[in-house]
Amino acid sequence: MEAFFSILRYNSAMTTLIKNALVIPMTEREHYEKSDILIKDGKIERIGTIDGKADETIDASSMIALPSFVNAHTHLSMTLMRNYKDTCENLQDWLSEIFPIEDKLCDEDIYWSSLLGSAELIESGCTTFADMYFFAWNTVKAARKAGIRGIIGQTFMGDAEDAEHRIREYEPRLREEIGNDDMFRIDAAVHAIYTSTPDCYAKTAEWAASIGARMNTHIAETRKEVDDSIRKYGKSPVELLDSLGVFSTVPTYGAHCVHLSDNDIDILSSRSVSVVHNPSSNMKLASGAAPIMKMRKKGINIALGTDGASSNNNLSMMKEMNTAALLATLSEMTPSAARPYDILEMATINGARALGLEDRIGTIEPGKDADIVLINTDDVNMTPLNDPFSAVIFSSDRKNIDTVFCKGRKLLEKGNLLTIDKDEAIRKTNERWQDILRR
């Protein structure tokens, strides 16, 4: 059966015609048009008025078509720890509950929780994620089963010696699992400056540059992280990473970036570091509000991420976009602080840019991979539609996600997952979690 489906997946002659969608291509500010989209060979072949036959034709006359979302910072398999000990006072206290659990994890735990996480991504219109976690080859396996694309973090904590060990031990396993599959790439994912030494960052930046990877790391998430860094190194986390040559050695995307000085923002801007905004996690752990408006003014590319399901506590990019918009409004005390289109950019093309995938995904235009989400507007919470950008950011939720394509392959149809047995993923994840608690 598997073989049969994989033949279908790679059937290059397959064409899909999406008819009469309200297309938001994300190529031109606040532009949308009623249009058809032809998908061929997994790519967007044409946009416009298209007549003729395709292998499949979808009536999208009540749908908004957007590039499917990019979750630029998550820990997919942390779905395991959803709603677990999440009323801690702050990030450090919460991590002290999480780290002992992580010491007990095994391959099977990561596979099933990653599959569950993949289901949650697809159901919220997301087909690309950047991950940072352990035993990452299981996450590749699960994401491949789901049909989504992943930037897979080879995770580092500790010093340079530990980093060398992890590269030696885990890189071959990860490479073997990925093979020639261009839906996946390895990045260096160094946890943070409070769990990883300066020589770990220097070593992994060099390694990442040597294999064409990027650097994914948490930066300046809490006030405490910044205060400790200044006490220990005489530098802020951003200044420290810059002084180590990380930003000049390897393209970097930093998660959180909540507590930044003007100098930090200048450094991130001049080094072309992308920032991944995680508003739900930052609000939930009382970390603070990232100065995204200030960063935008300095030309910094800002993407969006859910962080893990244990600090959010979900992986819905629909919810994350809504939270990002509301937080920007409240922090700046003006509704025009971030327009709905700005938030959509963060969740699509900016995410693609942060991960170096902007030539392949992030917009709907001919030649790009057909990563497309169709959002149903024929529902109570979307009527009347009026402004489609506001409708997506402020009115819609996961139940409006009707159809999702990744590289032309349909992963969700009328809200139903096509590649994942959802009941099995739920049951297995529950079983794994109960087992972990007994270990």
Residues that bind Zn ion (CB under 5 A): 307
Pick 153 or 408: Cβ nearer Zn ion = 153
Least Cβ distance, residue 317 to Zn ion (angstroms): 15
Pick 24 or 152: Cβ nearer Zn ion = 152
Least Cβ distance, residue 281 to Zn ion (angstroms): 7
Q: Are 300 and 273 within 8 A, CB to CB?
A: yes
Q: How far apart are CA 294 and CA 262, in angstroms?
A: 9
Looking at this protein, which amino acid is placed at residue 406?
Answer: C
């860094």: which residue's tokens?
229
Least Cβ distance, residue 351 to Zn ion (angstroms): 15
Pick 109 or 307: Cβ nearer Zn ion = 307
Pick 16 or 280: Cβ nearer Zn ion = 280
**Sequence-ordered list of residues with C-beta below 8 angstroms from that of 188, at least 6 positions apart, any chain:** 153, 154, 156, 204, 205, 207, 208, 213, 214, 215, 216, 250
Q: Are 195 and 163 within 8 A, CB to CB?
A: no
Q: How far apart are CA 392 and CA 120, in angstroms?
A: 18
Least Cβ distance, residue 303 to Zn ion (angstroms): 13
CA distances, 67 to each of 105, 125, 201, 355 (Å):
35, 9, 34, 15
Which residue in 104, 128, 64, 101 sits closest to 306, CA to CA? 128
Give ∠ CA 219-224-230 in degrees, rounded to 5: 75
Q: Where are the alpha helices (DSSP H) in 103-159?
A: 107-123, 136-146
Least Cβ distance, residue 320 to Zn ion (angstroms): 13
Please give the DSSP secondary-structure letter assigned to residue 76: G
Tokens of 97: 């509950």
Q: How far apart are CA 9 and CA 145, in angstroms?
A: 11
Least Cβ distance, residue 412 to Zn ion (angstroms): 26
Looking at this protein, which amino acid is placed at residue 356?
Answer: G
Pick 350 or 377: Cβ nearer Zn ion = 350
Alpha-carbon Rg for the chain in angstroms = 21
Least Cβ distance, residue 96 to Zn ion (angstroms): 16
Pick 273 or 393: Cβ nearer Zn ion = 273
Least Cβ distance, residue 131 to Zn ion (angstroms): 10
Pick 40 or 218: Cβ nearer Zn ion = 218
Pick 36 or 307: Cβ nearer Zn ion = 307
